[in-house]
Amino acid sequence: MDEQITEYIDHYLLHDPIGNAEGTIAEYDTEKLVAAEQQGAVFIAVYNTGRREIVKAEDITQPQPMLNGITVVQPLYVNQRTQATVAVFDALQSMLMPSVAAIAEDGADAKTPAETFEEALSALRTLAYPEE
């Protein structure tokens, strides 16, 4: 069985030659990357095959995590789910422990803890089940 592996960039590293340190890039703002490069930072593309190569800052784009050619997860997707989940628990906390809940300055626009919980749960359901 002769399978051909599709090579793609898994992630990028920023190498600081002065401090002799490396770290994975999490910020893909080209302007910031170019500024770091101008100050001596070196960028390294790390491929799924383990191959590494030095790349220019302006050539860096956010990689799409893959597993056997299938996108596994995208960071924004995870952040949205996490934020929605925390909002549900915050709303639940305000229902169960009202003394911990923040009091709105303008009582006219204030929602009840039950309304806040229902909105947060609805937002989480929309993320979890977008087709419904």
Q: Mean pLDDT over residues 67-92, rounded?
A: 71
Q: How confident is the model at residue 102 (pLDDT cuts 50, 70, 90)?
A: low
Which of 13-22, 70-79, 82-91 is predicted least confidently?
70-79
Which run of H or of E encompasses 32? helix 30-38
Q: How confident is the model at residue 15 (pLDDT cuts 50, 70, 90)?
A: very high
pTM: 0.50
Q: Is the pLDDT of residue 62 over 80?
A: yes
Query: DSSP E strands: which ranges in 40-94?
Result: 42-47, 52-55, 66-67, 70-71
- Confidence (pLDDT) at 8: 83
CA–CA gap between residue 109 and residue 126 (Å, rounded):
24
Which run of H or of E encompasses 16? strand 9-16
Q: Mean pLDDT over residues 99-107, rounded?
A: 51
Rg (CA), the chain: 22
